[in-house]
Structure 1
């Protein structure tokens, strides 16, 4: 079998940045930004609700899928904490059978220089950005100093190639980010550029949303998308990381 037998992808639970920014690309104002200003993306932690989301998701994941052969996180604090919450549902002897590795290829999209900006600041700093974005679209356009989604697909594909080479026939759990999940879908489901421009209404991945791919003949096929198993909190944005 040239693919993993099962690939379960979970978006991280609610992070402090999700809580503050909601579904906005930028901070609403300086007061909102002040809570997190200066914290790099890879160090953003989960909220209290986020920890509970991860733990509740873990019970459902164990009941549905059992033990995985390998678990991957992006290495960001929020994916590590989400993974710890999920794996807390497993007895120690089962956890010990599931190696957990960080893989930099499944990190979140780099949002560039506007990471800590308000919308007014971004407009003043990059007055050409709206027209550029409209011209090239949300898949090809790069935020200043950051990555396009097309860039992210390139490294997601490298991760998938590694799974095909090293984890064929295995059961894999991946804990990653909202924008990365769009790129997984582009690569695995052979989306065209138009499909990848933006999430259809109601399709943005929820915090701890569970997406499942199963091996069918010579490829992984989508079996389930964005199932939520938690009942605490309300963050479901797929724009902020």
Structure 2
């Protein structure tokens, strides 16, 4: 029992994406000033991100039509992205698409280094670089945070739930870059080596659209990955 179609969208450009410019940590205090002290679940989209979501919504509606259910992580940036996408639909169509928040598809917990600059993180955790090289980006845990392997456990719970609830239906999921990596691990049965890092150029773009389909009996199969339909702003890596 599977959904007939699972469409996964990474959130649009957030203020934190813009401030970090694809780096693991902030470059300096000036770079983090706009978002410092804002918890991850309250990080909003940029103006460009709002436009990305709206442009993506028009393409998603044209390609997939009405969904039977829409899920997001409950974080501000996924809520705003889902709202932007659904703005392309008529009020009557939106009434047919229940929208739910699910904490199992929230972003990976970044831990204590969340608001740190590169210099601060290296000073506070001088062992981190070697630890990360040893265990790799799938198993290593940021101090106080989650590994991607940890995230896979809750992603699997989410997938099992939607399989039970949405047999033969179309489901839209708006989530985060790290969570998408974990969804792909679970859905495509990656081995650990494949999961250690994104191949060059394969990081999910802001509002990148990934599609899986099933006939209801066979597992969901990847149809296409990271399709981008917007023409404004920048596709930054990050949470």
Same fold (TM over 0.5): yes
What is the alpha-carbon distance in structure 2 between the residues aligned to residue 236 and residue 130 of structure 1?
Answer: 23
What is the alpha-carbon distance in structure 1 between the residues aligned to residue 134 and residue 203 of structure 2?
Answer: 23
- Which residue number in structure 2 is paired with residue 221 of structure 1? 221
- Which residue number in structure 2 is paired with residue 48 of structure 1? 47
Please, what is the CA RMSD of the aligned residues? 0.7
What is the alpha-carbon distance in structure 2 between the residues aligned to residue 129 and residue 16 of structure 1?
Answer: 26
Is 1:180 matched with 2:179?
yes
CA contact (8 A) 2:14 2:43 kept: yes
What is the alpha-carbon distance in structure 1 between the residues aligned to residue 68 and residue 236 of structure 2?
Answer: 29
Query: How far does residue 76 in structure 1 lie from its aligned partner after superposition?
Result: 0.2
Superposed CA offset, 1:58-85 (max 9, x none) = 0000000000000000000000000000
Q: Secondary structure of 2:211's match? A: strand
What is the alpha-carbon distance in structure 2 between the residues aligned to residue 23 and residue 50 of structure 1?
Answer: 15
What is the alpha-carbon distance in structure 2 between the residues aligned to residue 189 and residue 80 of structure 1?
Answer: 26
- Which residue number in structure 1 is paired with residue 29 of structure 2? 30
Query: How far does residue 168 in structure 1 lie from its aligned partner after superposition?
Result: 1.3
What is the alpha-carbon distance in structure 1 between the residues aligned to residue 83 and residue 11 of structure 2?
Answer: 11
Superposed CA offset, 1:133-185 (max 9, x none) = 11111100000000000000000000000011111111100000000000000
What is the alpha-carbon distance in structure 2 between the residues aligned to residue 87 and residue 183 of structure 1?
Answer: 25
What is the alpha-carbon distance in structure 1 between the residues aligned to residue 66 and residue 2 of structure 2?
Answer: 18
Q: TM-score, normalised by structure 1?
A: 0.98
Q: TM-score, normalised by structure 2?
A: 0.98
What is the alpha-carbon distance in structure 1 between the residues aligned to residue 175 and residue 126 of structure 2?
Answer: 32
Is 1:16 matched with 2:15?
yes
Aligned residues: 238
CA contact (8 A) 2:18 2:236 kept: no
CA contact (8 A) 1:22 1:235 kept: no
Q: Which runs of 5+ in 2 are unaligned?
A: none
Q: Secondary structure of 2:171's match? A: strand
What is the alpha-carbon distance in structure 1 between the residues aligned to residue 19 and residue 128 of structure 2?
Answer: 24
- Which residue number in structure 1 is paired with residue 131 of structure 2? 132
- Which residue number in structure 2 is paired with residue 167 of structure 1? 166
Alignment of 1:51-130 (within 5 A): 51-130=50-129
Q: Which runs of 5+ in 1 are unaligned?
A: none
Q: Secondary structure of 1:109's match? A: coil
Is 1:196 matched with 2:195?
yes
Q: Secondary structure of 1:98's match? A: coil
Query: How far does residue 236 in structure 1 lie from its aligned partner after superposition?
Result: 3.0
- Which residue number in structure 1 is paired with residue 150 of structure 2? 151
What is the alpha-carbon distance in structure 2 between the residues aligned to residue 136 and residue 201 of structure 1?
Answer: 20
What is the alpha-carbon distance in structure 1 between the residues aligned to residue 150 and residue 195 of structure 2?
Answer: 13
CA contact (8 A) 1:19 1:235 kept: no
